[in-house]
A and B are shown apart, each in its own frame.
Chain A
Amino acid sequence: MENTSKEAQVKLDLSVSLGPLRLQNPLLLASGTWGFGEGLSSYLDLSILGALVTKGISLHPRPGNPPPRIAETPCGLVNAIGLENPGLEIFKRDIWPRLACFKVPLLVNVFGQNVEEYLAVVEGLLETKIQGIEVNISCPNVKKGGLQFGQDPKTVALLIKDIRDIWPRLLVVKLSPVGPVFEVAESALDAGADALTVANTYPALVVDVIRRKPDIAAGFGGLSGPAIKPLTLRLVREIYRRLKAPIIGCGGITSGQDVLAYILAGAKAVQIGTATLLDPMAPARILEEIEDLLRQIHEYRLAQLTGELQD
């Protein structure tokens, strides 16, 4: 391109607003794909990101599922980690103080087996200075015979309303991509969610034909990675059209192109998950690619592009 040197001097504005927060750029690290920063921080400067979303935290520690927990599929990864996590108390005592050093807004991903557990975690987090929570509703509801919270718009409405009553900071609800997605999205917003993460992994099965068994010990797992990108992109588009909701797009992003596709479809921000597992330096590369692309299309304010897909 001509003019590159001149254009390189134009300052890009990648910042986006999310509820009460202003993020320096739209890139978040997705829950469960960056540990708690330990291994990652020697390869990636976490302070370049817009925000971080932690691994799901529950009231009590959970050991997670037996192995094998992961299987590779065409352009995808199926996982059933089983929400392994150290629990609320250890998170507050040992992990949060360390994450606070990264100087990036932190969202804690929260889940429970019933409404009381969700509320207990959220209440415990009030004592920390975390900037927001992301409520994972793709989680079996013990009181409803294991049906996921996220499959039932009424339960979601009650859960999110109760959380909203006690949590004044940023409240994001992370949707499951299957089930009555639009109804659930609407209930979450009506109950007071500031934004929606669209979406979690897709329920999936991998078969070991020799052993005649699922290739993951837990049976089913969740599909992530480039394989799901077009599916989740369509969900973002539909939810944006129907509800004009603030959306954090999440599914299969591996490049700056992918990020812009999500933003044009209607996302304000995005999360990078599997891409960081493939290469811990990927988020930094993706950020550079976004900047290059914006210069190429002569757009200097990223936030202006949300929903600008011409269809």
Chain B
Amino acid sequence: MLKASVISQRLLKDNFALLWLDKTPLKKPPRPGQFVMLRSWSTLEPLLARPFSIHDLNEKAFAVLYQIKGRGTSLLSQVRRGQKLSVLGPLGKGFPTPPTPKVILVAGGIGIAPFLFAARWLKAQNYKIHLFYGARSRKDLLRLTAFRALKIPVTITTEDGSAGHKGLITTPLSQTLKDKAVTVFACGPLPMLRAVARLTQEHNTPAYLSLESRMACGLGLCLGCVVETKHGYIHVCQEGPVIEAANLLND
């Protein structure tokens, strides 16, 4: 892996963090939806590096936005400005160039991560964007100021009703799909992705989903990261993480 300097790290809400890293070690310019493998510990425990979507990008640096979940992400959350960590990337296949002038971004929870970068990229190409953002509760909503600064309309739902509409993000999404020629990009928990796949297929909407799976290498070496699709197993780190919604299995 290559070494990247930490430019800044900021803890967000209870258990999230925003980490900016020097982008020199990135092998090529990333595309939204691509990911990096990161490790901030030099010991062999935890053994594996961890995969994270590229959340944001500027001339000098890239960011990851992550939830502090287990050992790897707790260690990662302890690094500070000036320290170095190991990076591999950008990896995998990102989102494609949308076939329609309007794009709907659908985020569930920490699935918001790839979409700030995606939004900047789409805006630069003059796409019209609408963000649909579902979370468990108000305290899980991240980076709203950054999205609003891009003047992107945001529709929010929370499961407990503490912000936006109470309920699931697929409810307002299904209303919008009825009358517009749009492309959908989605990232979030699998049940949400399945619902998005169902809805977009009903409306014949082109849709692309970002999947997760356990990864050892992120580089196509171990064949450990498969998910089953309509065309058999795919290796998420190579043929994904972004796949066409039509390829997702129904259950």
A277's partner among B27, B222, B227, B228 (CB-CB below 8 A) is B222
Q: Would you call B47 and A72 a contact (CB within 8 A)?
A: yes
Which of chain B's residues have a CB closer than 8 A to the CB of A35? Answer: 219-221, 223
Instruction: Report if A151 contacts B (CB, 8 A).
Output: no
B214's partner among A39, A68, A73, A279 (CB-CB below 8 A) is A68
Q: How many residues of A contact B (CB 8 A)?
A: 37
Give the one of A33, A75, A254, A278 with max B CB within 10 A: A278
A71's partner among B88, B214, B217, B225 (CB-CB below 8 A) is B214
Q: How many Å from the CB of B230 to the closest CB on chain A?
A: 14
Could you tell me the distance between the alpha carbons of A84 and B224 in the complex, rounded to whole angstroms?
A: 10
Instruction: Report if B124 contacts A (CB, 8 A).
Output: no
Q: Would you call B44 and A75 a contact (CB within 8 A)?
A: yes
Could you tell me the distance between the alpha carbons of A79 and B27 in the complex, rounded to whole angstroms?
A: 29
Which of chain A's residues have a CB closer than 8 A to the CB of B232? Answer: 63
CB<8 Å pairs between A and B, sample of 6: A33-B221, A68-B214, A69-B214, A69-B223, A72-B46, A81-B223
Instruction: Report if A42 contacts B (CB, 8 A).
Output: yes
The chain B residue with its CB closest to the CB of A55 is B223
Instruction: Report if B238 contacts A (CB, 8 A).
Output: yes
Binary per-residue interface labels of chain B (19-39) against chain A in the complex, 1 for a CB within 8 Å, 0 otherwise: 000000001000000000000
Secondary structure at the A interface, as helix, strand, loop or mixed, is loop
5 nearest A-B pairs in the assembled complex, by CB-CB distance: A70-B224, A39-B220, A39-B219, A277-B217, A35-B220
B45's partner among A32, A38, A75 (CB-CB below 8 A) is A75
- Contact A84 to B223, CB < 8 A, known contacts A63-B233, A278-B47, A280-B88: yes
Q: Would you call B219 and A64 a contact (CB within 8 A)?
A: no
Q: How many residues of B contact A (CB 8 A)?
A: 28
Which of chain B's residues have a CB closer than 8 A to the CB of A40? Answer: 219, 221
Which of chain B's residues have a CB closer than 8 A to the CB of A32? Answer: 222-223
- Contact A277 to B213, CB < 8 A, known contacts A69-B224, A70-B222: no
Q: How many Å from the CB of A222 to the closest CB on chain B?
A: 12
Instruction: Report if A58 contacts B (CB, 8 A).
Output: no
Which of chain B's residues have a CB closer than 8 A to the CB of A281? Answer: 1
Given contacts A35-B219, A68-B214, 13 further A-B contacts (CB under 8 A): A38-B220, A39-B219, A40-B221, A43-B88, A55-B223, A72-B47, A75-B47, A81-B224, A84-B233, A226-B44, A276-B217, A278-B217, A280-B221
Could you tell me the distance between the alpha carbons of A55 and B88 in the complex, rounded to whole angstroms?
A: 23
Which of chain B's residues have a CB closer than 8 A to the CB of A279? Answer: 1, 49, 86, 88
Q: Would you call B238 and A39 a contact (CB within 8 A)?
A: yes
Could you tell me the distance between the alpha carbons of A33 and B224 in the complex, rounded to whole angstroms?
A: 10
Which of chain A's residues have a CB closer than 8 A to the CB of B12? Answer: none
Which of chain B's residues have a CB closer than 8 A to the CB of A74? Answer: 45
Could you tell me the distance between the alpha carbons of A33 and B219 in the complex, rounded to whole angstroms?
A: 10
Could you tell me the distance between the alpha carbons of A32 and B232 in the complex, rounded to whole angstroms?
A: 20
Q: Would you call B214 and A70 a contact (CB within 8 A)?
A: yes
Could you tell me the distance between the alpha carbons of A68 and B221 in the complex, rounded to whole angstroms?
A: 16
Instruction: Report if A67 contacts B (CB, 8 A).
Output: yes
8 Å CB contacts to B: which residues of A65-117? 66-77, 79, 81, 84
Q: Would you call A67 and B228 a contact (CB within 8 A)?
A: yes
Q: Would you call B224 and A226 a contact (CB within 8 A)?
A: no
Q: How many Å from the CB of A83 to the closest CB on chain B?
A: 10
Could you tell me the distance between the alpha carbons of A67 and B46 in the complex, rounded to whole angstroms?
A: 21
Could you tell me the distance between the alpha carbons of A35 and B27 in the complex, rounded to whole angstroms?
A: 19
Binary per-residue interface labels of chain B (136-168) against chain A in the complex, 1 for a CB within 8 Å, 0 otherwise: 000000000000000000000000000000000
Q: Would you call B47 and A77 a contact (CB within 8 A)?
A: yes
Q: How many Å from the CB of B35 to the closest CB on chain A?
A: 14
Instruction: Report if A34 contacts B (CB, 8 A).
Output: yes
Binary per-residue interface labels of chain B (86-107) against chain A in the complex, 1 for a CB within 8 Å, 0 otherwise: 1010000000000000000000
Give the one of B27, B217, B220 with max A CB within 10 A: B217
Instruction: Report if A50 contacts B (CB, 8 A).
Output: no
Which of chain A's residues have a CB closer than 8 A to the CB of B85? Answer: none
Instruction: Report if B195 contacts A (CB, 8 A).
Output: no
8 Å CB contacts to A: which residues of B168-225? 213-217, 219-225
Which of chain A's residues have a CB closer than 8 A to the CB of B233? Answer: 63-64, 67, 84
Q: How many Å from the CB of A37 to the closest CB on chain B?
A: 9
Which of chain A's residues have a CB closer than 8 A to the CB of B215? Answer: 70
Instruction: Report if A225 contacts B (CB, 8 A).
Output: yes
Instruction: Report if B75 contacts A (CB, 8 A).
Output: no
Q: How many Å from the CB of B26 to the closest CB on chain A?
A: 12
Could you tell me the distance between the alpha carbons of A277 and B224 in the complex, rounded to whole angstroms?
A: 11
Could you tell me the distance between the alpha carbons of A272 and B126 in the complex, rounded to whole angstroms?
A: 48
Q: How many Å from the CB of A233 to the closest CB on chain B?
A: 16
Could you tell me the distance between the alpha carbons of A281 and B37 in the complex, rounded to whole angstroms?
A: 14
Which of chain A's residues have a CB closer than 8 A to the CB of B228? Answer: 66-67
